[in-house]
Amino acid sequence: MIETTIIHLLRQAIFEIYGQDPSEDLLQLQKTRPEFQGDYTFVVFPFLKMSRKNPEQTANEIGNYLVDNSPEITDFNVIKGFLNLSVSNEYWMRFFTNLLPDNTFGFGKRQDIAPVVVEYSSPNTNKPLHLGHVRNNLLGWSVAEIVKANGIPVKKVNLVNDRGIHICKSMLAWQKWGDGSTPESTHQKGDKLVGEYYVRFDQEYKKEINTLIENGMDADMAKNSTPLLLEAQLMLKKWEDGDEAVRELWKKMNQWVYTGFDVTYQRMGIDFDKIYYESETYLSGKALVEEGLEIGVFYKKEDGSVWCDLTPDGLDEKLLLRADGTSVYMTQDIGTAQLRYDDYHPDKLVYVVGNEQNYHFDVLKLLLKKLGKPWAGAIEHLSYGMVELPQGKMKSREGTVVDADDLMDEMYQTAKSTTETLGKFDHFSEKEAHELYKMLSLGALKYFILKVDPKKTMMFNPAESIDFTGNTGPFIQYTHARIKSVLRKADEAGFNYLDQVVDLSQLDEKERSLLIVLHDFPQVIKLAGDQFSPALVANYAYDVAKEFNQFYHALVILKEENETRKIFRLQLSFITARTLRQSMRLLGIEVPERM
């Protein structure tokens, strides 16, 4: 790529002129700002001690060397301490000629190496998927696809948290107040039905707490002493002991939830290579805890609970098994990590989990290290920020979450009403319009979430996401459809543009700018894969769409009188549409052929 070539030439220039070999981190190259002439800008300030001259003199010396010694650099100008470099027309036309037939441009060749395992979703079977899960699923799926686009084998996995006290709360509430209700009898998705009983448990539990407090009990003691909570804890103990009735109820209600989850996953376009279940992995975790006791890295307290003292490592004491022998989250996470290593021997184990679990993963890696697992360092926590709403945080127990299915329904209706108001699709049949609304609504949702740096907390506003202007999914989708419309008109006119080789001696400024942003595609995919950041791909797609629209409004395409330039602009439009489609596919977003 030209940036690598320029960096090499700059390093060579500084060595030849000043007799010093600079480190690459000093060689800062960036795109030239639109108001200045040039393609790339080099910052000379770090080299003034070497040159012992002022910024303008230093920049001119380096610029003259590059023009004299490189066919790629044809001109330069100096603005204070910034050296603006112009890349030769020949380079850009050579790049363009090679790019046109290359459908895999930007994508790495498949490597025969250990895979990267990406875990995402990780739902609990006591409630439906919500907005927080939406961000998790979209991030995990997209990260996996971007890593794969770099030629690295990937395994997408899910860990279903299908056991534990929270599951027993839903089960107990259904036993007490469900009156035999089923998804069929209530005409509800199974995950929603079970979620309602999780909320019901919390409502009744709070009533019992208040009653105990009114009768004179301390508030903290009351929270741990309600009959409901004690029943739920007993149910968990029975489950771990293999009680047949409890296990049968658990299987029945979990199956309701799995069926509901599958509908939501399919609608979101989410898939997995393998699904692990906590009800199975916790056994492996308990075995590893026993192993830790044997080698002396864990210890047992008088009440029978098992702990690991991490205070010498700057953390705290960590519970691994309760006094009654039941396991905790950390127990199953240890077991799951071991099972995944045994299954795939991965290069990396990436966990897509919210940033409230940062401490949990610090502990997980440390415990595995103490257990003598050399692959503990392969664990990486993709710690993402929470999704917040204008009205505040969501709470599952209180039923104030934004349900994923309801959200997608709302997005569909917003897309439908927005586009109908604009009158954009009056010429579509009812079926065509329905498919387009689905594509736009999911594109708007996915793009709005994925364009934000994963590490940042984000505020979600559905209305802002569906807009045909600005940094939105529909704007990029509309740009793709606009390009396809131009290309269809060329096809209908019988204009053969793809099989012809063109060579322009001079590029228009807008043609050049669009070529430069298309040139960045491989670097964006590489960096997004390294940083596990779909936001880089999302915002790149916006830059491409924005650059094309400037090109489209500034220049004529089909009415261009010069045939060679017309062919070039059609070919450039074709490549742009392909790049938009490939970029958005990495985000799980479809782009329409027409709008």
pLDDT tens column, 165-194: 999 999 999 999 999 999 999 999 999 999
pLDDT at 529 > cutoff 60 = yes
Q: Work out the number of other CB atoms within 10 angstroms of the CB of residue 444.
A: 27
How far apart, in whole angstroms, are the C-alpha atoms of residue 221 and residue 183?
A: 37
Give the Cα separation of 53 and 317 in Å (integer).
60
Cα dihedral: 77, 7, 145, 111 (round 10): 150
Instruction: State the pLDDT at residue 214.
Output: 94
**Coil, strand, or helix at residue 461?**
coil
Residues with Cβ within 8 Å of 112's Cβ and at least 6 positions away in sequence, in order, are: none
- For residue 396, what pLDDT is reported? 42
**What is the CB-side half-sphere exposure of residue 349 using CA atoms within 13 A?**
23
List the domains of the chain with CATH numbers. 2-87 (3.30.1360.70), 120-388 (3.40.50.620), 440-585 (1.10.730.10)
Element (H, E) at 384: strand 379-384
Give me the helices (H) in 345-456, please: 358-370, 404-422, 430-450
Residue carrying the six token digits 């299915």:
405
CA gap 468, 408 in Å, rounded? 19
Which whole number is the average pLDDT over 271-299? 95
Give one DSSP letter per residue of 92-135, joined into a string. HHHHHHHHTT-TTTTPPPPP-SPPEEEE----BTTS--BHHHHH
Query: Could you tell me if residue 549 is left (phi over 0), alpha (psi between -120 and 50 degrees) or otherwise beta?
Result: alpha
- Asked whether residue 398 carries a pLDDT value surpassing 60, the answer given is no
Dump pLDDT digits (tens) for 85-144: 999 999 999 999 999 999 999 999 999 999 999 999 999 999 999 998 999 999 999 999
Q: Look over the chain and give the mean of its residue pLDDT values, rounded to a whole number.
A: 93
Please list the residues that pair with 29 across neighbouring strands: 42
Phi-psi region of 299 (alpha: psi -120 to 50; beta: other; left: phi over 0): beta
